[in-house]
Structure 1
């Protein structure tokens, strides 16, 4: 053995192995947008990503899968493809082509290193430097995983609740100021009106009411999506990720000390954890995509109903293996230790190996108990299917809906259009106060629940329709029979589709709108579009904000719901 070979340490070998693993993900069968990527340079100074995508797909007929937006001020970007053939065709077509008076160039791009492995190498090297320069210092103590999981899930866990409310009230004020500025930028006709509003409401475009909250601020969360993985010591665990993959961590933290999760859910999760500990199947490893146990979704209600949706990656399991696994789960929760968890509705879900989402070719499989759970809200009973949306804080939802009703002030002459109605909770809550409710929702199972909820609560003035809001809103609006029309919009975090907003603007009878947002910053674009000047595209007078009510649906987190009440601004105003 040579002297140089003798000097090669185990640590050196480990470092070299990690560096080799930086690009190991490219050899897997799973698709990655890094594998067939090109770099496009020479782009014009001003253009939109949407424009560029249309240029690639419609004009050049290239089959790309992803365009990665460029860094601000850069004249290049990445475009990804699903095969080497598509990538090579794109290079030959794009290289030298003119677009917006700019000559483009295209070349194959090097893939990015695995961010998880990269961060591990960086952490090792940083630790090595510290050990050389700080040999006399005491070792750095790692943050306890119980504290870290609090910081990632309930970051305000150590802040007194009154201070949390003050913080959120202040943040909502900032959102409204930004919204007012954006509205003025897009509709100069509102300058005088906005100036008047600012004088009335201390610089705000509308009145901001004091933040509302439910009496129960702990154990309020009725739905959680838990990760099945390994803790910092390598043990199987069900909890929440301590950090992101790109940040260099795949460890999962415990839920024992998380105050927003109800005890019935914690106890049931711990019991399922025992089953997974005894299972021969390994937990899913996001680094190399091995292992089967991946996630469990838990839903609880005030009626002590508990739903589990257990998601696994099938990997190489045969149909017989999967059948055996499902039988073992069913027997565990019906006759074994799992009976103590009192799961009233049990489902099994096959997950896509790469994305972790439900495989489109398969559906949820009902294993045991009822196919739904039920919840009481505002004196009514609601059926909730596994994939149906329901507010994650039931008591908070009651506060939210009461505030929405107070803002809308419906009467018997009012028709309510409930956009993104879910299982019909908002519409049914309004049904006692208005003459007619028409709800629409894209999730078919949620509409089934809404119709059942209508019947079992003895409500006769509600109808519900399946479809995307942008597709079915216009025909639903034409079904209304009442002289006054009010819309309530409770869209997903990303907001309402543009075509749906245009349809609301066009509805002549619609003079009032209640917009509920779980992400007020993201909702600004929708609210600005509703307030744009009357034009060929945005026909109808603008709908402008009149009053805003914050509702704290998520104590101990930074999230806050905001209800914005809007009215049609007449030309005379």
Structure 2
């Protein structure tokens, strides 16, 4: 098919195989990890993905693109490469080698079908009255506004007090499971856990009442909106996906009636939606990887600042055409109806496909306004850059950080270790209550913000370091000058890296740890590992949960932040010895 770009020239986009071939994506020129995939079997019962990667990359010198995490308990794993030559060499190198007393076997693996096309074909093949009825029930027409509310804010029609009760019950279930898993992995804690459960109504630690911010509507200060087409009328829409790609859906629903998005953000997005609809560029189609418009990221602040990051797939546009597009976007927001959006920071982003290891294929350009926005939190000002992490609920973050400070109870003899510190908000909030703060963060841009935030707020006892926590944690700990060490861990959803966790366990000066989780179920592994019995791998006494505080950072959704305070517990203490 043909589409016309803003520069006036035409471009051709191929839809190889259309929407009837689940393997059509393999014929496209762009890279996919499924093209050159192998299956490795015979793996040992216990191993880590990082260990496996080191075996392939460092010992066997293989050029892999990624290792697909296996299902729990499986004895095989998929490994992907960029060329047929790399895949062939890998099969030869891996076959028959011994690793951890196991003999590995490797063979070429079949590519997985495109989940969207697969799902679509499955629906077409549905047969029998009962199955047809089921499909019809699933596909009953629902107003777009109702559908998007049910998907993004599933508790939108539930009274807020009932939402809080629901989340408290969910947290109780998670803590019960945590107690069961810790008891299973550490027999030395069995007596201690039973005593705790008697005191805390069946839980292994004290569960405080759920905390909430004063404002529950329009609380999100950051949203990533997809540019797509409305399910009902096909109109270009900037909003949220109605379902996942794997579930067979690429449609986007409108955001106009979503309670958790601030009106300031909705208004700006709707203004830009008009620009996209008038554009000659097509929206990005994830099925055949055609089209340009991909997403809009919006960030707001309490001081009414607004950052927009407009992202496209460049397809085959020339540099001249891309420059013209950037100029058109900039001009739009600086004149006529575009000024109604009141954008204070504007960025343009090019996203192709994620390259090997993560952020490849993503280019960010500043178009106009400031290069960052500023947010106020606990009476302090914080600079927030496009890629930097900042809690999406500012008022909720204030409640969260106050809870963390109350739990940690730092003194002037305390060094606070702020792990995954982002722009430094937690560490700087702790600064006046402790002797010093040492922060660690992977994203360099966020560390630059953190250092500037220290200067802006006149804080003198904070230092920040860029790097992976598992790589730099040990040397950062050695810089601590205070006799006591408290760790504040606020990791991504996947949790803290195993090597970083092991480092915390063996640090003798560290007797307190505050773990902040946006996904408590996903945090269970980290929490259990911190409480494992002392061993060659897990040195030092275990860290066990003492108190838990849920904080509702995400009203109208099922998500709930959980702060868990942990302390060292010696074997004698676990046994109840004095």
Q: Same fold (TM over 0.5)?
A: yes
CA distance in 1, matches of 2:467, 2:523: 22
- When residues 481 and 290 of structure 1 are mapped into structure 2, their CA distance, relative to the original with a 3 A threshold, is same
Q: CA deviation at 1:484?
A: 2.5
CA distance in 2, matches of 1:288, 1:142: 27
- Residue 86 of structure 2 corresponds to 86
Q: CA deviation at 1:144?
A: 2.6
- When residues 70 and 375 of structure 1 are mapped into structure 2, their CA distance, relative to the original with a 3 A threshold, is closer
- Residue 23 of structure 1 corresponds to 23
- Residue 567 of structure 2 corresponds to 567
Correspondence 1:316-335 to 2 at 5 A? 316-335=316-335
Correspondence 1:341-360 to 2 at 5 A? 341-353=341-353, 360=360
CA distance in 2, matches of 1:188, 1:132: 50
Q: Is the 8 A contact 2:65 2:357 kept in 1?
A: no
- Residue 496 of structure 1 corresponds to 496
Q: CA deviation at 1:118?
A: 2.2
- Residue 407 of structure 2 corresponds to 407
Q: Determine helix, strand or coil for the equivalent of 1:432.
A: helix
Correspondence 1:295-306 to 2 at 5 A? 295-306=295-306
Q: Is the 8 A contact 1:351 1:358 kept in 2?
A: no
CA distance in 1, matches of 2:183, 2:131: 58
Q: Determine helix, strand or coil for the equivalent of 1:364.
A: strand
Q: Is the 8 A contact 1:374 1:384 kept in 2?
A: yes
Q: Is the 8 A contact 1:30 1:354 kept in 2?
A: no
Q: CA deviation at 1:217?
A: 0.8
Q: CA deviation at 1:58?
A: 6.2
- Residue 547 of structure 1 corresponds to 547
CA distance in 1, matches of 2:508, 2:158: 47
Q: CA deviation at 1:478?
A: 2.3
Correspondence 1:58-207 to 2 at 5 A? 62-68=62-68, 78-91=78-91, 108-126=108-126, 141-207=140-206
Q: CA deviation at 1:164?
A: 1.1
TM-score (norm 1): 0.89
Q: Determine helix, strand or coil for the equivalent of 1:225.
A: strand
Q: CA deviation at 1:535?
A: 2.6
Q: Is the 8 A contact 1:49 1:69 kept in 2?
A: no
Q: Determine helix, strand or coil for the equivalent of 2:376.
A: strand
Q: Is the 8 A contact 1:65 1:80 kept in 2?
A: yes
Q: Is the 8 A contact 1:289 1:353 kept in 2?
A: no
- Residue 12 of structure 2 corresponds to none
Q: Is the 8 A contact 2:352 2:361 kept in 1?
A: no
CA distance in 1, matches of 2:138, 2:59: 60
CA distance in 1, matches of 2:111, 2:444: 40
- When residues 143 and 130 of structure 1 are mapped into structure 2, their CA distance, relative to the original with a 3 A threshold, is farther
Q: CA deviation at 1:124?
A: 2.8
- When residues 571 and 95 of structure 1 are mapped into structure 2, their CA distance, relative to the original with a 3 A threshold, is closer
Q: CA deviation at 1:354?
A: 6.2
- Residue 8 of structure 1 corresponds to none
- Residue 11 of structure 1 corresponds to none
- Residue 6 of structure 1 corresponds to none
CA distance in 2, matches of 1:96, 1:221: 53
- When residues 103 and 308 of structure 1 are mapped into structure 2, their CA distance, relative to the original with a 3 A threshold, is closer
Give a deviation string over 1:398-422, Cα, whole Å, max 9, x none.
1101111111112222221211111
CA distance in 2, matches of 1:100, 1:358: 29
Q: Determine helix, strand or coil for the equivalent of 1:548.
A: strand
Q: Is the 8 A contact 1:483 1:509 kept in 2?
A: yes
CA distance in 1, matches of 2:496, 2:371: 30
Q: Is the 8 A contact 1:486 1:513 kept in 2?
A: yes
- When residues 513 and 46 of structure 1 are mapped into structure 2, their CA distance, relative to the original with a 3 A threshold, is closer
- When residues 129 and 384 of structure 1 are mapped into structure 2, their CA distance, relative to the original with a 3 A threshold, is same
Q: CA deviation at 1:321?
A: 0.7
- Residue 5 of structure 1 corresponds to none
**Structure 1: where are the runs of 5+ without partners?**
1-16
- When residues 48 and 142 of structure 1 are mapped into structure 2, their CA distance, relative to the original with a 3 A threshold, is farther
- When residues 142 and 568 of structure 1 are mapped into structure 2, their CA distance, relative to the original with a 3 A threshold, is same
CA distance in 1, matches of 2:43, 2:455: 59
- When residues 479 and 90 of structure 1 are mapped into structure 2, their CA distance, relative to the original with a 3 A threshold, is closer
CA distance in 1, matches of 2:186, 2:357: 41
Q: CA deviation at 1:248?
A: 1.1
Q: Is the 8 A contact 2:116 2:248 kept in 1?
A: yes
Q: Is the 8 A contact 2:155 2:163 kept in 1?
A: yes
- For CA contacts below 8 A with separation 6 or more, give which structure has more relative contact order: 2
CA distance in 2, matches of 1:465, 1:143: 50
- Residue 441 of structure 1 corresponds to 441
Question: What CA RMSD, in Å, does the superposition of the two structures yield over aligned residues?
Answer: 3.0
CA distance in 2, matches of 1:460, 1:99: 50
Q: Does 1:224 align with 2:223?
A: yes
CA distance in 2, matches of 1:404, 1:73: 36
- When residues 327 and 116 of structure 1 are mapped into structure 2, their CA distance, relative to the original with a 3 A threshold, is same
Q: Which deviates further from its counterpart, 337-346 or 539-548?
A: 539-548
- Residue 393 of structure 1 corresponds to 393
CA distance in 2, matches of 1:385, 1:336: 27
Give a deviation string over 1:83-103, Cα, whole Å, max 9, x none.
223334455566677888888
CA distance in 1, matches of 2:536, 2:381: 45
- When residues 31 and 400 of structure 1 are mapped into structure 2, their CA distance, relative to the original with a 3 A threshold, is same
CA distance in 1, matches of 2:406, 2:132: 65
Q: Determine helix, strand or coil for the equivalent of 1:521.
A: helix
- Residue 308 of structure 1 corresponds to 308
- Residue 484 of structure 1 corresponds to 484
Give a deviation string over 1:169-199, Cα, whole Å, max 9, x none.
1111111112122222222211221111111
- When residues 414 and 65 of structure 1 are mapped into structure 2, their CA distance, relative to the original with a 3 A threshold, is closer
Q: Determine helix, strand or coil for the equivalent of 1:415.
A: strand
